[in-house]
Structure 1
Amino acid sequence: MKARYNRISTSSQKLDRQTHKANKDEILFNDVVSGSVPFNERTEAIKLIQAIKSNAVNYVSVSSIDRLGRNTLDILQTIELFNNYDVTLKVDNLGIESITNGKPNNVFKLIISVMANVAEMERETLLERQREGIALAKAKGTYTGRVKGSKETPQQVLDKHKEVVRYIKQGQSLRNVAKLSDVSLGTVQKVKKLLTTHTQ
């Protein structure tokens, strides 16, 4: 049976762009989660993996490769999982499949690896530009930051950064937590400090 995996980062976003190519015979798995969360830790992705392992699904479509994730290694591990169960992965915007004539498509793996790396570098560049912009605004005295009087409580900060909390508890390095959660190193340090001083 065929399946289609869709992902949006927040509930305010729409799935229409990803689902308009869906066929009637496809089972839909729709996640609302950050792309930094590993594929095998997402609610709907877990259900998809279970369906694959039970041989209920042997063909998966995605609108673009970044729906699987933002981390190159995680994407390649997901593709490897599909290959191990002889599941064909089709990426709509590339028009290619991971398996051709019953064998892994090496061209597919190469293209996906390059594209995933490029996407990851673009994300890092964007975050770096944001940090540089904030630093420049602070130097000019024009950076306002959080609106005065809207200071968050320790619990609100921890609730806001649940991903950061989870990765810290897993023992990940601070830099790795920042990368996986798409936040600054300063935010990770702040959350870690709150975890050690604030009882949830």
Structure 2
Amino acid sequence: MKARYIRISTPDQKLERQLVKKHVNEKLYIDVCSGSTPFAEREQGQKLLSALDVTYISVHAIDRLGRNLLDILNTLEHFNSKGITLKVDNLGIESLIDGKPNQAFKLIISVLANIAEMERETMLERQREGIAIAKAKGIYKGREKGSKETVQQFLSKHKEVVKYLKSNQSLRNTAKLSGVSLGTVQKVKALL
């Protein structure tokens, strides 16, 4: 069976770009999470890693698998060991040729995965610089250290999470639907 893996960072991002080369016989696996989350810890990533009938996986770009070189290489190694071919659409290359690892694929992916990791570090550095500038100007809006929210304030801030939990949605599904982290959902559940 063929599969397509899609990852977006936030629920408000669009999937269309990653669906351009989708084929009708592909099963979709869609995660809404940060690229820094290890592939094996993502809900759909776990399902894809344990799927027994998948023999071919397509992704739009290698950074959809992650933004950590070691994690991407481990994921590729898992696919290779199971005889699963990974195709990266924007490069037009596949991980296996006649059932054997494509060495050119591994080289190119290593370089691109390294770039994806570097992009993430650069973005975080820019974010830290922006926060430092905002703090220097006295306009930083982060929560003050030591300040506390009441339980009611916290729950009122996460009304959607409460609604989905009360309708018996799973924790992961609630996180996806609400656009918050799994940790936030767990905290709301504990407070309810």
Asked if Structure 1 and Structure 2 have the same fold, meaning a TM-score greater than 0.5 normalized by the shorter chain, the answer is yes
| Residue of 141, 148, 155 corresponding to 1:145 | 141
Gaps of 5+ in 2: 159-179
Bigger shift: 66-75 or 10-19?
10-19
Partner of 1:94: 91
The number of residues matched between the two structures is 160
User: Deviation per CA, 1:171-199, whole angstroms, max 9, x where unpaired?
Assistant: xxxxxxxxxxxxxxxxxxxxxxxxxxxx9
User: Deviation per CA, 1:46-94, whole angstroms, max 9, x where unpaired?
Assistant: 111221xx2x111000001111111111100000000001110000011
Q: Secondary structure at the match of 1:14?
A: coil
User: When the two structures are superposed, what TM-score results if normalisation uses the length of structure 2?
Assistant: 0.73
Amino acid of the residue matched to residue 44 of structure 1? Answer: Q
Gaps of 5+ in 1: 167-198
CA contact (8 A) 2:131 2:140 kept: no
Partner of 1:58: 55
Hey, what's the Cα distance between the residues in 1 that align with 2:150 and 2:121?
Answer: 28
Hey, what's the Cα distance between the residues in 2 that align with 1:152 and 1:105?
Answer: 54
Q: Secondary structure at the match of 1:6?
A: strand
The alignment status of 1:43 with 2:22, answered yes or no, reads no
1:153 Cα deviation after fit: 2.2
The alignment status of 1:130 with 2:127, answered yes or no, reads yes
Q: Secondary structure at the match of 1:144?
A: coil
Amino acid of the residue matched to residue 36 of structure 1? Answer: S
Hey, what's the Cα distance between the residues in 1 that align with 2:22 and 2:181?
Answer: 33
Identical positions, percent: 57
Hey, what's the Cα distance between the residues in 2 that align with 1:152 and 1:62?
Answer: 42
The alignment status of 1:17 with 2:5, answered yes or no, reads no
Q: Secondary structure at the match of 2:132?
A: helix
Hey, what's the Cα distance between the residues in 1 that align with 2:114 and 2:130?
Answer: 24
User: When the two structures are superposed, what TM-score results if normalisation uses the length of structure 1?
Assistant: 0.70
Partner of 1:70: 67
CA contact (8 A) 1:7 1:31 kept: yes
- Say if 1:111 and 1:24 are closer, same or farther in 2 by CA, change over 3 A: same
- Say if 1:43 and 1:108 are closer, same or farther in 2 by CA, change over 3 A: same
